[in-house]
Amino acid sequence: MPKRSLRSQLLAQRRALGHDAWLASSHAAQQNLLALNEYHQSECIALYAPVRNETDTAEILIHAFKAGKRVLYPAVCGEHMVFRLVEGLHSLQQGAFGILEPCAVGIDHQADEADLIVVPGVAFDLSGHRIGYGKGFYDRFLQHPGLKAHLVGLCHDFQLLADLIPGEQHDIPMEIVVSNRRVIRVEK
């Protein structure tokens, strides 16, 4: 199935999630991510603010702060994305595309500064390929030559597809895909 059709179908399915189902799925997926050794070994992590029933990241944020980790969130600046340090959800305001972003103050951080980057997506496959929203912000950002972070896709289990997602040369695959039901470690 072409990317556009997959994107449309899965976005509709995600929008149809009831609040309780979204909350339960998000909680389970976050708990699975928090159990990863890669998370525990990270000093600096990058998260995202969820929109339209994306898997929530608030529990990860709270846990990271309690563990003394630095936490970065993305901000869209024109055609590019940067990460900025946050001190809590209160540090976020509505930005590009209606997504909560860090305020436009402070230092912009690049992909090479995080140890673990949690990446949202519309769909993931068992090989770590991802379908985003089609704007390419994460793919461009993750092409940083000094990238050393573990890349973790976070999703609801219905977004994790058995069939291979058609990839393009600029697509950056995930190392790990975490859902509410499973953790997939991608073989390199």
Q: ∠137-140-142 over CA atoms, to 5°? A: 105
pTM for this entry: 0.89
**62: buried, middle or exposed (CB in 10 Å: 19+, 13-18, 0-12)?**
middle
pLDDT in tens, 79-120: 777 788 887 666 766 766 667 667 666 677 666 789 999 999
Rounded Cα–Cα distance for residues 57 and 72 (Å): 12
Residue-wise pLDDT tens digits, 35-63 = 999 999 999 999 998 988 999 999 999 99
Q: What is the pLDDT of residue 96?
A: 64
Euclidean distance between CA atoms 42 and 65, whole angstroms: 12
DSSP E strand boundaries for 31-89: 44-46, 70-77, 80-85
Q: Residue 50 corresponds to which tokens in the numbers above? A: 């969820």
For residue 28, pLDDT over 70 is answered with yes
Distance CA(188)–CA(181), nearest Å, equals: 22
- 164/130 Cα distance (integer angstroms): 10
| Cβ count within 10 A of residue 166 | 13
Beta strands per DSSP E along 22-115? 44-46, 70-77, 80-85, 92-94, 100-102, 108-109
Domains of the chain: 3-185 (3.40.50.10420)
